[in-house]
């Protein structure tokens, strides 16, 4: 009976309406079809985002290959810088879109059925985790790169005279890097490193919005890469600075003698503008010291509270143990008193039994005697 009914199937498929059939929902609310439309849009945007993440990862792999080569040629350097900027802009864009998408997903979740909502949430989480991976890989690559460049400059410092290093400009295309704000922050070498994942690991934020990647930086102590402008800003989880905006906000830490001179001029100017600089500075220092003391006090109190909390557990254990000991001793006392009682009463019985025995023995003796 089985015949080739392919042509029937094809005819049927063509006869069906072009788009998906309108959903039949148990609620039957009027806005359902809109909700499903939005869900479809959400899915398409999510697909777009994942495609872009894949593209970014590809660029990232290219960049990491270049970095791993070690001492790089100038054209590789240019390519690396280009890649870095590209990746950074893509990450920014992706971050914004992911945020948007998760917001819309949250809104729609209530309208759409439970399963679709869960599926959307899972997809969001998946996207977010891949995005976080990509960002952390990016950060690692950047760190590797800064390490390489440090080695390079150390090596070249040994080779060239230090005074001439200013003219020789060991890293020619770093000057073009004032724009890329990726180099914001210092790691232990005293070189900038971008900490993209600092907030991505934040435990507080998981459903509401994607934690923004942003960098930590601390003060930069003298360096010989003068073209780098490490950017400094406060790393506050609450403020959630966007990637691009905050990194352009402030700049600090001059590096060349020229910059130091300029800064001293500025300072002289400041002295003319604010003649009380020392006094005000002293006041500011005093206040900041007071503030740090108070903060320290706060942490000490917290530690104290934690310690006492631990002790609570121990005290409970002691209480339990002593309680058990008490119970045991009570029970054993009961046993002993029972024994005593029975001993007291039994003595009479034993006495009688014994007397009966004695009588028997006497009877035996008399019998046999």
Please tell me whether residue 339 binds other proteins under the rule CB under 8 A: yes
User: 87 with 56: CB under 8 angstroms?
Assistant: yes
310 binds other proteins (CB under 8 A): yes
Place of tokens 């609620």: 27
Does residue number 356 form part of the binding site for other proteins (CB under 8 A)?
no
Residue 101 φ then ψ, to 5°:
-60, -45
351 sits near other proteins (criterion: CB under 8 A): no
Site string for other proteins, 288-307 (x = CB under 8 A): -xx--xx-xx--xx-xx--x
Q: Which of 54, 263, 308, 363 binds other proteins (CB under 8 A)?
A: 308
Residue from the set 11, 201, 287, 351 that interacts with other proteins by CB under 8 A: 287
Cα angle, residue 22 at apex, residues 16 and 24 outer, rounded to 5°: 125
Closer residue to other proteins in complex, CB, 10/325:
325
- With CB under 8 A as the contact rule, the residue among 12, 54, 201, 329 that binds other proteins is 329
Judged by CB under 8 A, which of 159, 260, 331, 359 binds other proteins? 331
Q: How far is the CB of 284 from other proteins (least distance, A)?
A: 10
Taking only Cα atoms into account, the Rg of the chain, rounded to an integer number of angstroms, comes to: 40
| C-alpha–C-alpha distance, residues 30 and 46, integer Å | 26
What's phi and psi for 181, nearest 5 deg? -85, 15
Long-range CB pairs of 268-274 (<8 Å, 24+ gap) are none
By CB under 8 A, the count of residues binding other proteins is 43
* All residues at 6 or more sequence positions from 208 whose CB lies less than 8 Å from its CB, including other chains: 106
Would you give the end-to-end CA distance of the chain in angstroms? 119
Q: Contact positions toward other proteins, by CB under 8 A?
A: 275-276, 278-279, 282-283, 286-287, 289-290, 293-294, 296-297, 300-301, 303-304, 307-308, 310-311, 314-315, 317-318, 321-322, 324-326, 328-329, 331-332, 335-336, 338-339, 342-343, 346, 350
């Amino acid at each position: 009976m089985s015949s080739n009914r392919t042509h029937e199937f094809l005819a049927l498929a063509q006869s069906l309406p072009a788009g998906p059939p309108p959903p039949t929902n148990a609620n039957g609310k009027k806005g359902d079809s809109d909700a499903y439309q939005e869900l479809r849009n959400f899915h398409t945007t999510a697909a777009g985002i994942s495609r872009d993440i894949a593209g970014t990862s590809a660029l990232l792999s290219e960049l990491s290959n270049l970095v791993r080569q070690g001492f790089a040629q100038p054209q590789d350097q240019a390519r690396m810088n280009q890649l870095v900027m590209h990746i950074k802009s893509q990450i920014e864009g992706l971050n914004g879109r992911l945020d948007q998408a998760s917001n819309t997903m949250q809104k729609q979740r209530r309208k759409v059925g439970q399963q679709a909502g869960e599926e959307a949430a899972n997809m969001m989480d998946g996207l977010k985790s891949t995005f976080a991976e990509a960002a952390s890989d990016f950060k690692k690559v950047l760190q590797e790169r800064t390490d390489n460049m440090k080695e390079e400059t150390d090596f070249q410092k040994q080779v060239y005279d230090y005074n001439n290093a200013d003219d020789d400009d060991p890293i020619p295309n770093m000057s073009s890097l004032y724009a890329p704000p990726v180099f914001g922050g210092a790691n232990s070498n005293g070189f900038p490193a971008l900490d993209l994942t600092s907030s991505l690991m934040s435990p507080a934020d998981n459903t509401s919005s994607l934690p923004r990647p942003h960098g930590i930086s601390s003060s930069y102590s003298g360096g010989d890469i003068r073209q780098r402008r490490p950017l400094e800003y406060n790393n506050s989880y609450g403020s959630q600075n966007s990637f691009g905006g905050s990194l352009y906000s402030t700049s600090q830490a001059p590096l060349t003698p020229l910059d130091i001179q300029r800064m001293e001029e500025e300072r002289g100017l400041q002295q003319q503008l604010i003649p009380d600089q020392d006094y005000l500075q002293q006041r500011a220092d005093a206040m900041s010291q007071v503030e740090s003391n108070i903060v320290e006090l706060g942490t000490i109190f917290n530690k104290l509270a934690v310690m006492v909390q631990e002790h609570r557990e121990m005290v409970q254990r002691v209480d339990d143990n002593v309680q058990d000991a008490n119970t045991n001793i009570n029970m054993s006392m009961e046993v002993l008193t029972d024994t005593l009682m029975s001993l007291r009463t039994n003595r009479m019985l034993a006495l009688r039994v014994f007397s009966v025995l004695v009588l028997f023995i006497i009877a035996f003796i008399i019998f046999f005697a």
